[in-house]
Structures are given as structure tokens and as C-alpha cells.
Amino acid sequence: MQQKIKVLGTEITFYPRQKEDYISLTDIARYKHPNEPRDVVKNWLRTKSTIEFLGLWEKINNLEFKEVEFDLFRNLAGGNAFVLTPQKWIEATRAIGLTSKSGNKGGTFAHKDIAFEFASWISAEFKLFLIKEFQRLKAEENERRNLDWDIKRNLAKINYHIHTNAIKRHLIPERISRSAENLIYATEADLLNLALFGMTTKEWRDKNPHQEGNIRDYADMSQLVCLSNLENLNAYFITENMDKSTRLERLNDLAIEQMTILTKNNKLLLVNKS
């Protein structure tokens, strides 16, 4: 999904691609030449320093980069007759640092490393403000993600209380000792851990002796949402007098089903802040 930021009065579009951000070079070029941004991009691609920078970036990040074709472009770069379009660069070298899109939302996009380099060629001032605005937006996104995680963690805690109340009402005999009561709670918590994580708290600690906290503290948002659901379901299964082995089997099946859905559609985990 495309997003926009405004830098020195110019609207800049960017979008995520394979967990990396790609920024519109066409939009950046409009800061220098509002009417012919494509020509600005092509002029930048003509220079030898640009070709060398793009080639170095691809060598570092792209195993399928065609270095023979890159050497050809590098030898020709800077000449009066040399012309290079983003499409030609991408097709000839299998470059991944640039992308070219057609249509109303199209243009030339580049990995942020390359986009910042292009912005520096346009204007040192523009590059500085672009980086600052981009970093500000990313900081806000990180804050939202952390808030989302906290909300899911608190939801899991709330459901945990529902879960423990069901255990207390249906599984704990009267006048039980405190140590025996805690053992029942821990056993039921590990039932959920086995269903979702495939291991008990002790098994996790044995495998992670240097980690603080417990297995649930390292759960991602998908797992926390699933855990909340499993706690509610286990509370219901307990009230239905379902035996532990059957509950574990049912909860494990449900965990697999829910995690498959959640990991395929992360949008389900977003908190609507509107």
C-alpha cells in the first residue's frame, strides 16, 4: 500500500516491497522540474557515478545481478550519446534497486538507499529534509506497532483471568493447598503453551537459559491473538467437563487453523485508530 509524505512542499510517494521501502524518484524529481520529472531521472542515470553506485548496490543486495551488462553501461556512461531509462537498466541487468510502474500511481521507484542518493543529486537540502521526514514517519509506525503489541498482550492477560476463573470453578477441589492450586494453574497454562508453541514453560527455559521472562513474553502479535482465543476456548471446554487430552488435541487443531489464517492476513492484527 502506497503512503505519502510532504517534503519542502513536494508530495513524495513510497511503498513497502519485500520488507523494504521504495520511494518515488519521479516525485523527488518534481522538486527540481515539476513538468518533466522523467527527464530528470534519465539525466541522473546518464552519469558514470550513478551507474557505479547502482552497480555497487546491486552487487551487495542482488545475487542475480548481471555484472557483464553493468560493465557495458559503466563504460558508456557519461558519453554524449549515452541514454539510459530505468526500464532498460532493470531489464538488462535484472536490477532490483529500481522499479518502474505505469499508470496514475506509476513512475520510477527506488530502494530508500538509492532514493536518498538521488535526492542528494537533486539538492542536499532536499535530501536532509526527506530523510528527516521519512524517519519521523517510521518512528510513528514503530510506536503504533509497539502499541498494537501491548494491546494484544493486555488482551491475553484479560483472557488469562477468564481462563483461571474457569479453572478455579471447575478443576480446583475445595480446601486445596496453595501449592497444589498453583500446580493446577501452571499445568493448564502449559496445556495452552503445548497447543500453541509446542512446548511447556520448562522446556522453553531449558532451550533458552539466557532469556528473561517466559515463552509468552516472546510471542508475536499473531501468537498473542491466537493465545487469547485459546484461553477463552479452553475456559469453555473446562465448563463442558472435557478431559485434558481431548482439550489439548482440540486446542492444538484450533491453534494451527488460527495461526494459518493470522499469518496469511496480518491486516487482521491492525488496530483501527480512527
| CA neighbor of 83 nearest in space, from 51, 46, 52, 53 | 46
Other residues' Cβ atoms within 10 Å of the Cβ of residue 4 = 12
pLDDT above 80: residue 261: no
Reduced to 3 states, what is the DSSP secondary structure of residue 22? strand
Residues sharing a CB contact under 8 Å with residue 165, sequence separation 6 or more, in sequence order:
235
pLDDT digits 0-9 by tens, 94-124: 999 999 877 666 789 999 999 999 999 998 8
| CA neighbor of 221 nearest in space, from 119, 153, 128 | 153
Q: What type of residue is 81?
A: A
Domain boundaries, the chain: 3-122, 142-269
**pTM of the full predicted structure?**
0.51
Other residues' Cβ atoms within 10 Å of the Cβ of residue 133 = 15
pLDDT digits 0-9 by tens, 81-95: 889 999 999 999 999
Q: Order the strands of the 20-24 sheet from edge to edge.
A: 3-7, 10-17, 20-24, 107-111, 98-101
Q: What ranges in 19-123 are assigned the alpha helix state H? A: 25-30, 37-45, 48-61, 67-76, 86-93, 112-122
Under 8 Å between Cβ of 147 and 271: yes
Q: Return the exposure string of 66-99: e unless at least 16 CB atoms fall within 10 Å of the residue's CB, then b.
A: eeebbeebeeebeeeeeebebeebbeebebbbbb
Other residues' Cβ atoms within 10 Å of the Cβ of residue 153 = 16
pLDDT above 80: residue 180: no
- Tell me what percent of the residues of the chain surpass a pLDDT of 90: 28
* Burial of 47 per CB tally in 10 Å (0-12, 13-18, 19+): middle
Q: What crossing angle do the helices spanning 67-76 and 86-93 adopt, rounded to 10°?
A: 140
Residue 46 dihedral angles phi and psi, to the nearest 5°: -75, -20
- What are the grid coordinates assigned to 134, written together? 521519512
pLDDT above 60: residue 150: no
pLDDT band at 264 (very low <50, low <70, confident <90, very high): low
Residue 107 dihedral angles phi and psi, to the nearest 5°: 120, -175
Q: What type of residue is 182?
A: N
